[in-house]
């Protein structure tokens, strides 16, 4: 027999009711996001990169041999960051990405993933996939689809 999961109110030991269902939903979303991020960080960070750096590497792997301009990477980030140049500096120092000026537009810098970056991602693919399955294990496929639809609606309402 499975135990009923704790509510956020129980987890944070809040004695008064939330001010509104919206407040409870937002805090539940934050608390859940934090738990998922910590679980993934446990896998990623021992490899010497942050979750945001991992995201950059995945974006560049998807871009293929054409690479991507710096601002395109920033636009595609799951978690937006104003410090994309700093992220790329750190990844370049670790020889996981390389950059070069665009020959057609010298104002643009193109970014590429290196072989070392591809190798690191290949190493992380399976453990992260397994972590994703494990963290969503409590939901059916239909519930996951419903959750995705609801979260898409929330983001759409925010513009």
> For 15-54, what is each residue's pLDDT tens digit?
898 889 999 999 999 999 999 999 999 999 999 999 999 9
Quote the DSSP letter at residue 67.
-
pLDDT given for residue 2 in this prediction: 62
Confidence of residue 13 (pLDDT cuts 50, 70, 90): confident
Q: CB-based contacts of 28: which residues, under 8 Å, 6+ apart?
A: 7, 8
For the segment 85-119, what is each residue's pLDDT rounded down to a tens digit? 999 999 999 999 999 987 777 678 899 999 999 99
Tracing tokens 């120092």 back to the chain, one arrives at 93
- Segments making up each domain of the chain, as ranges: 20-157
| Residue 11 token pair | 């987890």
pLDDT given for residue 82 in this prediction: 77
Q: CB-based contacts of 24: which residues, under 8 Å, 6+ apart?
A: 8, 9, 18
CA distance 32 to 101: 40
For the segment 77-93, what is each residue's pLDDT rounded down to a tens digit? 988 877 899 999 999 99
To the question of domain 20-157 being in CATH 3.30.930.10, the answer is no
Confidence of residue 1 (pLDDT cuts 50, 70, 90): low
pLDDT given for residue 3 in this prediction: 73
Confidence of residue 72 (pLDDT cuts 50, 70, 90): very high
Nearest to 88 by CA among 65, 66, 63, 112: 112
Mean pLDDT of the chain: 91
For the segment 130-157, what is each residue's pLDDT rounded down to a tens digit? 999 999 999 999 999 999 999 999 999 9
pLDDT given for residue 11 in this prediction: 81
pLDDT given for residue 44 in this prediction: 97
Give the full edge-to-edge strand order of the sheet including 109-113. Answer: 68-69, 109-113, 97-101
């Amino acid at each position: 027999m499975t135990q009923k999961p704790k509510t956020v109110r129980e987890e944070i030991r809040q004695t008064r009711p939330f001010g509104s269902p919206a407040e409870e939903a937002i805090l539940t979303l934050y608390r859940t996001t934090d738990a998922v991020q910590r679980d993934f960080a446990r896998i990623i960070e021992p490899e010497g990169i942050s979750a945001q750096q991992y995201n950059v590497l995945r974006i560049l792997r998807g871009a293929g041999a054409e690479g991507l301009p710096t601002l395109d990477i920033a636009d595609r980030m799951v978690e937006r960051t104003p410090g994309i140049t700093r992220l790329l500096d750190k990844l370049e120092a670790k020889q996981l990405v390389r950059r070069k000026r665009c020959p057609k537009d010298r104002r643009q810098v193109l970014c590429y993933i290196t072989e070392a970056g591809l190798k690191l991602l290949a190493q992380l693919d399976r453990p992260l996939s397994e972590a994703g399955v494990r963290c969503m294990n409590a939901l059916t496929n239909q519930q996951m689809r419903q959750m995705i639809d609801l979260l898409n609606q929330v983001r759409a309402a925010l513009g």
